[in-house]
Each structure stands twice: as C-alpha cells, then as structure tokens.
C-alpha cells in the first residue's frame, strides 16, 4: 500500500499550463510508495498521456464545487498521508521526506511546509497562516516565526500534508468555504479533536503567487466573518469584540478609497448573519465526539505511519 497520496486539483482550464508544470515537477521527483491523484473538474484532456505513468484521474462535472471534488478524491486515496498541491507549485527532490518522518507521531494531523516564491527562490512566501483574535488571516513569514508558538498554524493553500484519518474524523474539508478558509476551519476542528500540527522548515515548495486560487473581496470578507463567529466569536468579552471591530476598521482603512474597501465591508456586514455559527459548530463537535471510531482511527494511523 502507498504511504503517501499526492493530490493535485485541476479546477480551472485557464491554468492548464501551471497544472502541467506542477504535475511534471511531481513526476520528476516522485517519492517511492506514493500515488498521484488528480481531482479534475476543469475538463483536463491529458494530452501527454500521464495516465499511463500511474497518475489516476478522478473526473467530475464542471459544475461540481471544487472542494467537493477534492473531498471525494481524498476519500478514495489509498495512503494514510494526503499531500495536496495546487497548480502553480513546484517541488524539489526528497521534499516529502521530513513531513513523512513527522507523521511517525500518531497524534500529528497536519504538517505545514515552507513555501518559497518561485520568482525569488530565497524569499519565504509562507510558513503557514494564522487566524488572529480580531478575525483576520495573516501569512506567517520568516520574521514572524515566534507567532507560530502562540496560535493555531494553518496550512497555506498552495501546499499541505494531512493525515487522512484525521480529515475523515472531522468530515473532510467544508466545501461551503473557499479552499484557504476551508483549511482554516479544518485546522481548528483538528485541534479541537486533539490532533497536533507542525511547521516543517526543511520541506521546500515553490509557488507562483499569481497562480493561486483567488476570490472576490466580498466573498473573502463574508466567509472570514463567518469563521470569526464560528471560532473566535465564542469569546464574547468586550476586549474580543473591540479587537474584532478594530480589525474590520483597519482592513477597511487600508484599502480605502478603493472599491475593495467597500466590498470587504459589505461582506463583513453580510457575514453578521453567521452569528448562529457557534451553535452549528457545537453540534458538529458533539457529532464528532459521538462517533465510536476515534480509537480505530488512531490505531490505523499508528499502523500506517
């Protein structure tokens, strides 16, 4: 059985070139005991016949929500460790070695790799992201490493390693969120369930930032607000509310007078409808706790890791 399932999503046919470069990079450096899976709802035609090189395609209709396609591909992954790489990323020789070593710890659920800017290969682009108490998502870079010890570290959308058993326990990624924010939600859920995470400073992945998934300022702000009430909003002290209002105002002022400032503010206002998220989260956590499969998942993880 494979130890690692490498999943490359293909959601947008305008990124065919970036997708093919990422796939070629993975094939050139492919580790032993691994499988390569493609979550394809962008209609990839496989002109290079990579399917003949052991690459498995999971094809979905064009109107399939991207994260639904990704979740179904994760479900069919044969390995206990899942590595998700988005189009526009490149890997180097032995890039999976240290992440797999970390997973020898049976309680580890997530490994966050170090991502470099492909245009400036010595520049750290991201060592994960953190969600502030004010409800903003910030990328962790070299000068902010001390913050990693004080917050839940969330994988950057470009690349992440997950223990499949951990993802299955929380019901995989929430497809109602955009990819980066689905990672945020999953990271907090995994933490609530007792899984740990680590930043791998030796795993080097290179990314072209302009190729990463994007969304409108309105959707981004609305979903951030939803996640704030889902996670940070459980602390309803005057201090936490003031911190949140300050973060919203700071974000608005940073982009003012551009249209983005008003789109983000409108998204935050629409996100106020998510006040009930804390109740939804509580029910979800109870459902996870009631599943009699936690010990079984840990046993499988220990055997497979």
Task: Examine residue 92 and state whether it is found in any structural domain, yes or no.
Answer: yes
Whole-model pTM: value is 0.89
Residue 296 has pLDDT above 70, yes or no: no
Domain stops at, among 188, 214, 240: 214
Query: Do 228 and 201 belong to one domain?
Result: no
> Could you give the maximum distance between any two Cα atoms of the chain, in Å?
60
% of the chain at pLDDT higher than 70 = 89
Task: Examine residue 190 and state whether it is found in any structural domain, yes or no.
Answer: yes
Task: Examine residue 293 and state whether it is found in any structural domain, yes or no.
Answer: no
How confident is the model over 228-247, as pLDDT tens digits?
888 875 555 677 778 888 88
Task: Examine residue 271 and state whether it is found in any structural domain, yes or no.
Answer: yes
Please tell me the distance from the alpha carbon of residue 26 to that of residue 53, in angstroms, as a whole number: 12
H-only helix segments in the chain: 16-28, 66-76, 97-102, 164-169, 179-192, 217-230, 238-255, 259-271, 277-290, 294-304
Residue 141: per-residue pLDDT: 82
- Please give the residue that has the higher pLDDT: either 105 or 229: 105
Please tell me the distance from the alpha carbon of residue 141 to that of residue 126, in angstroms, as a whole number: 5
Task: Examine residue 289 and state whether it is found in any structural domain, yes or no.
Answer: no
Task: Examine residue 302 and state whether it is found in any structural domain, yes or no.
Answer: no
Query: Do 173 and 56 belong to one domain?
Result: yes
DSSP strand pairing (4-10 vs 34-40)? parallel
Domain stops at, among 214, 230, 251: 214
CATH code for the domain of 167: 3.90.550.10
Q: Return left, alpha or beta for 17; rule: phi > 0 is left, psi -120 to 50 is alpha, else beta.
A: alpha
Domain stops at, among 163, 197, 214: 214
Helix (H) or strand (E) holding 108: strand 108-117
Nearest residue to 39 via CA among 68, 15, 81: 68
Query: Do 146 and 248 belong to one domain?
Result: no
Query: Do 144 and 181 belong to one domain?
Result: yes
Query: Do 238 and 114 belong to one domain?
Result: no
Task: Examine residue 304 and state whether it is found in any structural domain, yes or no.
Answer: no
Which residues in 195-217 are b (16+ Cβ under 10 Å) and which e? bebbbbeebbbbbbeebbbeeeb
Query: Do 67 and 205 belong to one domain?
Result: yes
Please tell me the distance from the alpha carbon of residue 295 to that of residue 288, in angstroms, as a whole number: 12
Q: For residues 175, 277, 236 and 130, what is the CA-based torsion angle, rounded to 10 degrees?
A: 0
Query: Do 210 and 229 belong to one domain?
Result: no
Range of 157's domain? 4-214
| Residue 176 token pair | 């109602």
Q: How many domains does the chain have?
A: 2
Query: Do 229 and 123 belong to one domain?
Result: no
Q: Is 36 strand, coil or helix?
A: strand
Query: Do 80 and 10 belong to one domain?
Result: yes
Please tell me the distance from the alpha carbon of residue 140 to that of residue 122, in angstroms, as a whole number: 16
Query: Do 140 and 47 belong to one domain?
Result: yes
The DSSP letter of residue 155 is: -
Q: Which residue has the tokens 């690459």?
A: 55
7-21, 33-47, 81-95, 290-304: least confidently modelled range: 290-304
Query: Do 128 and 277 belong to one domain?
Result: no
Please tell me the distance from the alpha carbon of residue 54 to that of residue 180, in angstroms, as a whole number: 29
Query: Do 91 and 227 belong to one domain?
Result: no
Task: Examine residue 268 and state whether it is found in any structural domain, yes or no.
Answer: yes
How confident is the model over 24-74, as pLDDT tens digits?
999 999 998 999 999 998 888 877 778 777 799 999 998 999 999 999 999
Residue 145: per-residue pLDDT: 52
């Amino acid at each position: 059985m494979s130890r690692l399932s490498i999943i490359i999503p293909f959601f947008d046919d305008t990124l065919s070139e970036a997708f093919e470069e990422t796939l070629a990079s993975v094939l050139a450096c492919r580790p032993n005991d691994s499988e390569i899976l493609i979550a394809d709802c962008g209609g990839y035609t496989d002109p290079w016949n990579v399917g003949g090189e052991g690459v498995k395609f999971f094809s979905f209709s064009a109107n399939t929500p991207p994260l639904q396609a990704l979740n179904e591909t994760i479900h069919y992954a044969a390995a206990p460790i899942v590595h998700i790489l988005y189009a526009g990323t490149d890997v180097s020789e032995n890039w999976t070695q240290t992440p797999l070593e970390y997973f020898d710890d049976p309680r580890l659920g997530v490994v966050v790799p170090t991502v470099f800017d492909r245009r400036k290969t010595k520049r750290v682009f991201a060592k994960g992201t953190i969600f502030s108490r004010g409800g903003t998502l910030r990328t962790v870079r070299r000068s902010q490493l001390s913050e990693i010890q004080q917050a839940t570290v969330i994988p950057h959308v470009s690349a992440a390693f997950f223990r499949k058993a951990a993802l299955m326990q929380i019901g995989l990624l929430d497809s109602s969120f955009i990819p980066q924010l689905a990672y945020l939600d999953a990271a907090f859920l995994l933490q609530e369930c007792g899984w740990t995470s680590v930043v791998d400073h030796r795993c080097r992945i290179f990314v072209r930032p302009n190729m990463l998934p994007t969304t409108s300022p309105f959707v981004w702000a609305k979903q951030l607000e939803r996640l704030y009430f889902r996670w940070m909003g459980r602390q309803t002290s005057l201090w936490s509310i003031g911190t949140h209002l300050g973060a919203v105002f700071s974000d608005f002022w940073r982009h003012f007078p551009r249209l983005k400032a008003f789109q983000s503010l409108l998204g935050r206002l629409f996100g106020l409808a998510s006040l009930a998220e804390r109740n939804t989260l509580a029910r979800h956590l109870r459902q996870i706790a009631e599943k009699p499969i936690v010990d079984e998942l840990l046993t499988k993880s220990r055997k497979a890791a």
